[in-house]
């Protein structure tokens, strides 16, 4: 039995969708355990078809796999139905998609508050995706959230929405100078949407627990990344959930002792979307090179991603806080043609060297990278399928990443397609 967690080990967009698609062929279940439609996961199928998934687990593209939107996820019902509709239109069978009764619902007031509160933050804004993610998790923790199961009891749903709107409307009108939302209209819309997803609601933690007990393979697919984690990330420039490995247990109901493998997805360089510190960020033509060569534009918002060199301090940190057992390095092909490839091995903060993540936000904001220059390679490596197919300099680059991160590399991406991968270790053997 393998219960594998796939984690973004940087600031998101590491290529989790591709990794899930690849490993999805070996599992019976794929589970999303946190986040919502702030995520954008790209999958390029063996037949060349490209999919952008936001809420639905990437396993939906592997026929026969059961997919679960776990209790830790926040669901915008309109977005969910839109995504299911689009998949069905493209011939994808979605009958194997289940939704946890305990997942929270993103309501229209969450989206409104997300957008307007960002505007009020001005220069201090987080650069959220504007999808209502933070406000929905706020209500979850404040215990005034609306859960998927509430749609099964219209009077409870009405009570909860009315109670929440009493507060939210005060905020929208009095603080943010917006129009109040009509409770009845919000309730009726959700109930109408629910007719189209009710049949998918399930006690997913029980189903997953039974599957694990039967020895079935499960893949837990994270959204976002380690440095966007609300506890372990670059707070307050983070998302409002726990993408790290601990969140996989909480967000699915699978106990931590049942997890066998934790794979960290690391881009061969670094990107970030939205505000916040980013020590290896390149604001020059090298950054532009990575953006163009790596097509670094957001799947969800279309924003240009900030780009920088590989940061081994981040990789070591992600290894530690997630207990990574394996690394999946993506986009190595993007670095082809560079004469030398800088790798950040440590930071300097006010004249002092830091080999590990600084403790304070202030120090991290002041961190400048200490680079090691590694020789580049000019060959096109997209056809490589074994490590031996790679130029010596590319192999040396991987060896150095492995050494600096402290975790073995089990797969390497050399192109966006599922087959454009070097599988070093079989994780389902
Ligand atoms: P996710 O959010 O972690 O699933 O990643 P995104 O889908 O947002 O961004 C990753 C992008 O890189 C997508 O466009 C993928 O198709 C692409 N990609 C993934 N792995 C590779 C790779 O090894 N090489 C190249 N060139 N592109 C890749
Ligand atoms: P995937 O799953 C990259 C970023 C936003 C913003 C911060 C908070 O595709 O890797 P939020 O809307 O979550 O409150 O925004 O987090 N962010 C992501 N960045 N990839 C993602 O998802 C992201 N999801 C959120 O840009 O800085
Ligand atoms: Mg993404």
Ligand nearest 294 Cα, by number?
Answer: 1
Maximum distance among all alpha carbons in the chain?
Answer: 66
pLDDT of the residue at 299: 86
- Percentage of the chain surpassing pLDDT 90? 97
CA nearest to 266, candidates 142, 146, 375, 407: 407
The Å distance, Cα 380 to ligand 2 centre, comes to 31
Tell me the C-alpha distance between 43 and 365, whole Å.
Answer: 34
pLDDT of the residue at 133: 98
pTM over 0.95: yes
Average pLDDT over residues 307-329: 98
Determine whether the shortest distance from the Cβ of 12 to ligand 2 is under 6 A: yes
pLDDT tens for 85-110 read 999 999 999 999 999 999 999 999 99
pLDDT of the residue at 347: 98
* Distant-in-sequence, close-in-space partners of 163: CB < 8 Å, separation ≥ 6: 144
Tell me the C-alpha distance between 262 and 230, whole Å.
Answer: 19
Concerning whether 41 is annotated as a catalytic residue, the answer is: yes
Average pLDDT over residues 306-331: 98
In 127-248, beta strands by DSSP E: 201-202, 218-221
C-alpha 290 chain-centroid distance? 21
* pLDDT at 117 > cutoff 90: yes
* pLDDT at 300 > cutoff 90: no
The b-or-e profile of 350-388 (16+ CB within 10 A means b, else e) is: eeeebeebbeeeebbeebebbbeebebbeeebeebeeee
H or E element in which residue 186 lies? helix 183-194
* Distant-in-sequence, close-in-space partners of 220: CB < 8 Å, separation ≥ 6: 3, 4, 5, 6, 31, 33, 248, 252, 254, 259
In 101-251, beta strands by DSSP E: 104-105, 201-202, 218-221
pLDDT tens for 144-159 read 999 999 999 999 999 9
Lowest mean pLDDT among 79-93, 148-162, 267-281, 296-310: 296-310
The Å distance, Cα 416 to ligand 1 centre, comes to 6
Strands 41-44 and 50-53: antiparallel
Ligand 1 atom 10 nearest Cα: 15
Any alpha helices (H) in 228-352, and if so which ranges? Answer: 245-250, 285-293, 312-322
Determine whether the shortest distance from the Cβ of 118 to ligand 2 is under 6 A: no
Select which of 21, 26, 41, 199 is catalytic.
41
Ligand nearest 334 Cα, by number?
Answer: 1
pLDDT band at 209; cut points 50, 70, 90: very high
Determine whether the shortest distance from the Cβ of 13 to ligand 2 is under 6 A: yes
Tell me the C-alpha distance between 59 and 31, whole Å.
Answer: 8
Q: What are phi and psi of 210, to 5 degrees?
A: -70, -40
Determine whether the shortest distance from the Cβ of 7 to ligand 2 is under 6 A: no
The Å distance, Cα 110 to ligand 3 centre, comes to 22
Q: What is the mean pLDDT of the chain?
A: 97
pLDDT of the residue at 301: 85
* Dihedral over Cα of 148, 149, 152, 155: its sign: negative
pLDDT tens for 10-30 read 999 999 999 999 999 999 999
Q: Which residue has the tokens 């070097």?
A: 422
Distances (CA, A) of 239 to 82, 104, 273: 23, 16, 11
Average pLDDT over residues 228-234: 98
Which range has the top average pLDDT, 119-128, 296-305, 368-377?
A: 368-377
CA nearest to 314, candidates 349, 363, 273, 269: 269
Length of the chain equals 429
Please state, as a whole number, how many other Cβ atoms lie within 10 Å of the Cβ of residue 302.
8
pLDDT tens for 145-200 read 999 999 999 999 999 999 999 999 999 999 999 999 999 999 999 999 999 999 99
pLDDT band at 72; cut points 50, 70, 90: very high
Determine whether the shortest distance from the Cβ of 40 to ligand 2 is under 6 A: yes
């Amino acid at each position: 039995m393998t219960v594998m967690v796939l984690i973004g080990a940087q600031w998101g967009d590491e290529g989790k969708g591709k990794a899930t698609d690849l490993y999805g062929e070996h599992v019976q279940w794929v589970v999303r355990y946190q986040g919502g439609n702030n995520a954008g996961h790209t999958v390029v199928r063996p037949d060349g078809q490209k999919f952008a998934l936001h809420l639905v687990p990437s396993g939906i593209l592997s026929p026969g796999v059961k997919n679960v939107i776990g209790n830790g996820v926040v669901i915008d019902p309109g977005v969910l139905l839109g995504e299911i509709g689009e998949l069905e239109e493209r011939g994808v069978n979605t009958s194997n998609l289940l939704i946890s009764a305990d997942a929270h619902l993103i309501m229209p007031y969450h989206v409104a508050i997300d957008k307007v509160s960002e505007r009020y933050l001005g220069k201090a804004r987080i650069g959220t995706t504007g999808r209502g993610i933070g406000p929905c998790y706020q209500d979850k923790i404040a215990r005034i959230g609306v859960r998927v199961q509430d749609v099964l009891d219209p009077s409870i749903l009405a009570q909860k929405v009315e109670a929440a709107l009493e507060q939210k409307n005060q905020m929208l009108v009095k603080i943010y100078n917006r129009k109040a939302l009509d409770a009845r209209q919000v309730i009726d819309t959700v109930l109408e949407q629910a007719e189209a997803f009710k049949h998918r609601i399930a006690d997913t933690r029980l189903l997953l627990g039974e599957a694990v007990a039967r020895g079935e393979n499960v893949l837990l697919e994270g959204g976002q990344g380690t440095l966007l984690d609300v506890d372990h990330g670059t707070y307050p420039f983070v998302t409002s959930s726990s993408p790290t490995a601990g969140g996989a247990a909480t967000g699915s109901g699978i106990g931590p002792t049942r997890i066998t493998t934790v794979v960290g997805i690391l881009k061969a360089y670094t990107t970030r979307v939205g505000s916040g510190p980013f020590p290896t960020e390149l604001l020059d033509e090298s950054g532009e090179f990575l953006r163009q060569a790596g097509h670094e534009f957001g799947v969800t918002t279309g924003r240009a991603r900030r780009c920088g060199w590989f940061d081994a301090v981040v990789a070591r940190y992600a290894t530690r806080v997630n207990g990574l057992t394996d690394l999946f390095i993506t986009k190595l092909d993007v670095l082809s043609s560079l004469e030398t490839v800088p790798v950040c091995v440590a930071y300097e903060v006010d004249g002092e060297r830091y080999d590990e993540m600084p403790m304070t936000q202030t120090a991290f904001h002041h961190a400048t990278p200490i680079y090691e220059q590694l020789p580049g390679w000019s060959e096109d490596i997209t056809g490589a399928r074994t490590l031996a197919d790679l130029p010596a300099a590319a192999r040396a680059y991987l060896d150095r990443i492995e050494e600096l991160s402290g975790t073995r590399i089990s797969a390497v991406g050399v192109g966006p397609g599922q087959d454009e991968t070097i599988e070093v270790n079989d994780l389902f053997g």
